[in-house]
């Protein structure tokens, strides 16, 4: 899969998701709770981050009705924190 990291500009919600994933792998529900946004808003940002190869699906956890996917930051995602373009505002 080709990466687009060099020309990919993250919006603030995507940067916030990435910042939270720096601390620990999380599910959509966990991210939504700590960020105070809807699970669908988290999914939207994760979709962008997956395309940019900044996050990956790294496993699953048991859920109430079905397993929840766990997302982790990639090396490319970590590199965004050393970039001059990344400004953490979490």
CATH number at residue 49: 1.10.10.10
Domain assignment present for residue 75? The answer is yes
Structural domain boundaries enclosing 27: 10-79
| CA 49/CA 81 separation, integer angstroms | 14
pLDDT digits (tens, 9 = 90+) for 3-30: 444 556 788 999 999 999 999 999 999 9
Domain assignment present for residue 17? The answer is yes
What was the pLDDT predicted at 59? 93
Give the chain's domain count: 1
- Phi-psi label, residue 64: left if phi above 0, alpha if psi -120 to 50, beta otherwise: alpha
Q: Which two tokens stand for residue 12?
A: 């603030």
Partners of residue 59 on adjacent β-strands: 70
pLDDT range class, residue 85, cuts 50, 70, 90: low
pLDDT digits (tens, 9 = 90+) for 65-80: 889 999 999 999 999 8
Three-class DSSP category at 61: strand
CB atoms within 10 A of CB 84: 5
Domain assignment present for residue 45? The answer is yes
């Amino acid at each position: 899969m080709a990466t687009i990291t060099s020309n990919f500009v993250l919006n603030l919600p995507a940067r916030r998701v990435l910042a939270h994933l720096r601390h620990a792998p999380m599910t959509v529900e966990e991210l939504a709770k700590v960020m105070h946004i809807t699970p669908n808003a988290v999914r939207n940002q994760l979709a962008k981050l997956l395309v940019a190869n900044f996050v990956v699906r790294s496993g699953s956890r048991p859920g109430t009705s079905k397993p929840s996917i766990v997302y982790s930051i990639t090396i490319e995602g970590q590199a965004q924190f050393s970039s001059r373009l990344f400004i953490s505002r979490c």
